[in-house]
């Protein structure tokens, strides 16, 4: 046996039968990893993935191209209905005619823009009441004497403008 | 191979948890020792051992009962440790040992050298990582140079020369330790 072989043999014998106990938690970690997940869990996961993919696919198909670019009648009516709630607080003892969709349809674009300002969520730093006041001031509305008012009738002030007879009471 | 072990392995192939736990408890201490040898820390050794056991249980069908089960398990742990080593290799500095030619007189002197396993482990720990891997694979775990070259992605001659230099380095380090121990005693 050469010197090298003797050395190798001596080293090898020193490591023969070497054993070190692994940490106790390793066994639990290993078998937790090896254990197959129960089938309802796997099935539920697969169904969930399919559902999400299907919903994404469906919404991608159903959304027409450029739908967000051109404001449709529906969007304008949405704005209008939201605006009704915010901008016309009416006292309970007053006659409060309902704002019809037609009145808002006749507004010019700048007025619709003003309404959009009013319908923004509460992200603005100022209070909603202050915003409503500022925006209402921009509307070219002439006041009408209360006596001549017929409830739920639109009043035409000139050829292009129609107004709702309403008494606006502002708090604060 | 004993019948009892064959039955146990068959039960593991059927993925019976009690059999898997039995095999784990029989061999994990021996395999953890192997993993510790090829890694730098206990936590790395734990990672290697866990990964190796997963491979064992998932590929048990490829084990042939004509072979040694211990040997098969050890191979899987060593191969997993090599993969771990190669993954971390890009972060390590490559250090070479100088070419040293041992004289016959040096090797004769080494024969009488006394050293413990702890001293040997400390000396192996001082080897550059690549040299240490080659030495342990060849001397302790009985790999051939061809296998080492393939596993580590090095040239066959590199494996041979690194082994030779590693041996010489270890002999020198161990001789130094022995000399210091004698000086302290006297």
pLDDT tens-digit map of A99-114:
444 454 555 555 545 5
B111 and B63 share one domain: no
Give B90-105 pLDDT, tens digit per residue: 665 566 666 555 555 5
- Do B139 and A12 count as a contact with CB atoms less than 8 A apart? yes
Instruction: Give the residue from B88, B121, B155 where a domain finishes.
Output: B88
Over range A15-27, report the average pLDDT: 91
How many contacts, defined by CB atoms under 8 Å, are there between A and B? 70
CATH at B139: 1.10.10.10
Read off the pLDDT of each residue in B57-65 and give the average, rounded to a whole number. Answer: 91
pLDDT score, position A87: 47
Beta strands in B47-105 (DSSP E): none
Identify whether the C-beta of residue B56 lies closer than 8 Å to the C-beta of residue B73.
Answer: yes
Shared domain for B126 and B69, answered yes or no, is no
- Would B95 be classed as within a structural domain? no
In angstroms, the CA B162 to CA B80 distance is: 22
- What is the maximal distance between C-alpha atoms in chain B? 63
**CB contacts, 8 Å: B28 with chain A:** 21-22, 26-27
Dmax of chain A from CA atoms?
127
| Contact: B28, A22; criterion CB under 8 Å | yes
pLDDT over 70 percentage in chain B:
88
CA dist., res. A68 & res. A72, Å (int): 9
Based on the domain organization, do B14 and B64 belong to the same domain?
Answer: yes
> Among A82-96, B2-16, B54-68, which is the least confidently predicted range?
A82-96
Of residues B17, B110, B117, nearest to A14 (C-beta):
B117
Q: How far apart are CA A104 and CA A116, in angstroms?
A: 12
Binned at pLDDT 50, 70 and 90, residue B82 comes out as very high
Q: Which of B88, B117, B145 is the last residue of a domain?
A: B88
* Cα gap B31→A21, rounded to integer Å: 9
Q: Which domain holds residue B111?
A: 104-185
Task: Give A14→chain B minimum CA distance, Å.
Answer: 6
Q: Percent of chain B having pLDDT more than 90?
A: 65
- B11 and B77 within one domain: yes
Burial of B83 (0-12, 13-18, 19+ CB in 10 A): middle
Q: Which residues in chain A are contacts of B167 at CB distance < 8 A?
A: 4, 7-8
Q: B30 and A7 in contact by Cβ < 8 A?
A: no
Do B50 and A23 lie within an 8 Å CB cutoff?
Answer: no
Q: What is the pLDDT of residue A136?
A: 63
| Cβ contacts of A14 on chain B, cutoff 8 Å | 117, 120
Q: Please, is B115 exposed, middle or buried when counting C-beta atoms within 10 Å of its C-beta (0-12, 13-18, 19+)?
A: buried
Rounded CA-CA distance B118/B157 in Å is 30
**Alpha helix locations (H) across chain A?**
3-15, 24-34, 39-62, 73-87, 101-105, 109-119, 128-137
The answer to whether residues B10 and B50 belong to one domain is: yes
Respond yes or no on whether ipTM tops 0.90: no
Interchain proximity B46–A7, CB inside 8 Å:
no
Domain assignment present for residue B19? The answer is yes
Residues from chain A contacting residue B12 (CB–CB below 8 Å): none
DSSP structure class, residue B60: G
Question: What torsion, rounded to 10 degrees, do the Cα atoms A22, A24, A27, A28 define?
Answer: -150
Contact B30 A22 (CB under 8 A): no
Give per-residue pLDDT as tens, B19-33.
Answer: 999 999 999 999 999
Q: Read off the CATH number of the domain in which B30 is found.
A: 1.10.1740.10
Kindly list the residues from chain A whose CB atom is less than 8 angstroms away from the CB atom of residue B104. Answer: 3
Does B160 score more than 90 pLDDT? Answer: yes
Q: Among B34, B55, B88, which residue terminates a domain?
A: B88
| Cβ contacts of A21 on chain B, cutoff 8 Å | 28-29, 32
Question: Could you give the count of Cα atoms lying within 13 Å of A30 in the half-sphere of its Cβ?
Answer: 26
Residue B82 C-alpha, separation from nearest chain A C-alpha, in angstroms: 19
| pLDDT in the model for residue B89 | 74
Taking an 8 Å cut-off on Cβ atoms, the answer to whether A33 and B50 are in contact is yes
Tell the residue number behind the tokens 């006596």, with chain if given.
Answer: A147
Q: Which residues pair with A162 in a beta bridge?
A: A156
- What does R_g of chain B's alpha carbons equal in angstroms? 19
Residue B162 lies in a domain: yes
Nearest CA in chain A to B141: A12
Instruction: Output the average pLDDT for chain B.
Output: 87
Residue of B nearest to A19 (CA): B30
Residue B74 forms part of a structural domain: yes
Write out chain A residues lying below 8 Å of B21, CB-based.
Answer: 27, 31
**Contact across the interface for B33 and A20, Cβ inside 8 Å:** yes
Q: Domain count for chain B, please give it.
A: 2
């Amino acid at each position: 046996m050469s010197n090298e072989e003797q050395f190798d043999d001596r080293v090898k014998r020193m490591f023969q039968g070497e054993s070190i106990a692994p940490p106790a938690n390793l066994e639990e970690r290993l078998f937790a990893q090896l254990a197959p997940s129960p089938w309802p869990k796997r099935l539920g996961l697969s169904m969930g993935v399919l559902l999400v993919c299907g919903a994404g696919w469906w919404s991608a198909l159903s959304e027409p191209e450029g739908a967000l670019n051109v404001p449709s009648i529906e969007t304008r009516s949405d704005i209008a209905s939201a605006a009704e709630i915010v901008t016309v607080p009416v006292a309970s003892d007053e006659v409060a005619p309902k704002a019809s969709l037609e009145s808002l349809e006749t507004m010019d674009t700048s007025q619709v823009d003003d309404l959009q300002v009013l319908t923004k969520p509460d992200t603005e730093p100022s209070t909603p009441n202050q915003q409503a006041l500022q925006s209402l001031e921009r509307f070219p509305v002439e006041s009408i004497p209360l006596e001549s008012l017929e409830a739920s009738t639109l009043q035409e002030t000139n050829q292009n403008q129609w107004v709702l007879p309403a008494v606006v009471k502002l708090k604060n | 191979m004993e019948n009892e072990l064959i039955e146990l392995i068959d039960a593991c192939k059927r993925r019976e948890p009690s059999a898997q736990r039995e095999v784990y408890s029989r061999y994990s201490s021996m395999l953890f020792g192997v993993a510790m040898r090829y890694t730098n820390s206990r936590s790395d050794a734990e990672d290697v051992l866990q990964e190796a056991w997963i491979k064992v249980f998932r590929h048990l069908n490829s084990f042939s009962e004509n072979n040694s089960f211990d040997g098969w398990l050890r191979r899987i742990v060593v191969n997993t440790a090599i993969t771990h080593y190669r993954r971390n290799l890009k972060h390590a500095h490559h250090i070479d040992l100088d070419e040293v030619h041992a004289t016959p007189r040096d090797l004769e002197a080494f024969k009488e050298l006394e050293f413990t396993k702890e001293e040997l482990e400390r000396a192996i720990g001082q080897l550059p990582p690549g040299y240490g891997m080659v030495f342990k694979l060849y001397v302790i775990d009985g790999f051939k140079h061809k296998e080492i070259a393939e596993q580590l992605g090095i040239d066959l001659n590199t494996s041979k020369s690194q082994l030779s230099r590693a041996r010489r380095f270890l002999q020198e380090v161990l001789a130094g330790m022995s000399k210091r121990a004698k000086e302290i005693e006297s």
